[in-house]
Structure formats: C-alpha cells, structure tokens
C-alpha cells in the first residue's frame, strides 16, 4: 500500500507491506520549500561567493567555511547536497559543478574547468566521476 500526501510544505510518502509473516512500513518526507537560505545565512553566502569572484580563485574549504556550511550538522549538509543536485540524480555530476556557485547565488560566476576538476578530485572518493551525498558530506565536514 502506497500513500502520498502533502502536509504544509512537506511531501510525505509512506509504503506499507503486509503478508502472512511480516509487516513493514517505510516513511519518507521531503520539504518542498527547502532553500539554501533556510540553512545558511544570505549574508554568509554572499561573502563566500564574493571571496571567489576571480576565475581560478575558488577554494572549496574556504568557501564552505565562509558560507557556514562546514559548521552545520550532517543532515543539513545532506539537505544542501539535495539542493545542489539540480537533476535529483543523487549525485553532483561534472556538468552541475560548473554552476556550483550559482546554486548558492544566481548572479555568481561559473567555475572554471580547473576548479571543477579540483573539486571533483577532492570529493570523488570512489572515482566514478561524480560526487555522492556521503562524499559531499565527508568533503564539507573534514
């Protein structure tokens, strides 16, 4: 049995399965109004983006410090990942990394190829060419 409903701004999905031997229930909720400024301050985001305006000046460690992400909980980092993962594939691919700064601030510049490769190398622990949620969390919180 599958149930999907909207409660306030949260999409709730429950799946219940019962047979002669087992009863399982799975529950997922998704906040539809999730935005970066619900996790990070707009001022901190602006300062972090301003700090790397010049091409090839993006340093992910400094960026995550300045915007406050590295001080957030593991769950908040995962929430930010889901916002950056624009196609909802469960991964941040190289094409999405180009627009990484624009996910934080729409008027920001795109990352250069050098910056994209550097960010991908830093986070992609399993060398599959993309960043998964656990890899992103490890990079941000380390």
Please give the annotated binding residues for Ca(2+), written as ranges.
85, 87, 89, 91, 96, 124, 126, 128, 135
Q: How far is CA 47 from CA 8, 32, 128, in A?
A: 32, 26, 32
> Where does residue 72 fall: left (phi above 0), alpha (psi -120 to 50 degrees), or beta otherwise?
beta
User: Would you say the C-alpha torsion 82, 87, 93, 97 has a positive or negative sign?
Assistant: negative
Q: Quote the CA–CA distance of 65 and 86 in Å, as a whole number.
A: 23
Q: Which residues are annotated as a binding site?
A: 85, 87, 89, 91, 96, 124, 126, 128, 135
Say whether 130 sits in a helix, a strand or coil: strand
Question: Is residue 95 classed exposed, middle or buried when 0-12, 13-18 and 19+ CB atoms within 10 A define those classes?
Answer: exposed
Distance in angstroms (rounded) separating the CA atoms of residues 135 and 131:
6
């Amino acid at each position: 049995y599958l149930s999907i409903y909207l409660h306030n701004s949260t999409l709730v999905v429950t799946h219940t399965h019962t047979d002669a031997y087992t009863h399982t229930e799975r529950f997922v909720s998704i906040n539809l109004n999730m935005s970066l400024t619900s996790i990070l301050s707009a001022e901190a985001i602006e300062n972090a983006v301003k700090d790397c305006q010049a091409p090839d000046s993006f340093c992910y460690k400094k960026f995550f410090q300045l915007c406050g992400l590295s001080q957030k909980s593991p769950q908040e980092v995962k929430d930010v990942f889901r916002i950056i993962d624009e196609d909802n594939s469960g991964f941040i691919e190289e094409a999405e990394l180009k627009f990484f700064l624009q996910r934080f601030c729409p008027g920001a510049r795109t990352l250069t190829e050098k910056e994209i490769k550097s960010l991908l190398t830093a986070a992609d622990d399993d060398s599959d060419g993309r960043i998964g949620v656990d890899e992103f969390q490890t990079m941000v919180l380390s």
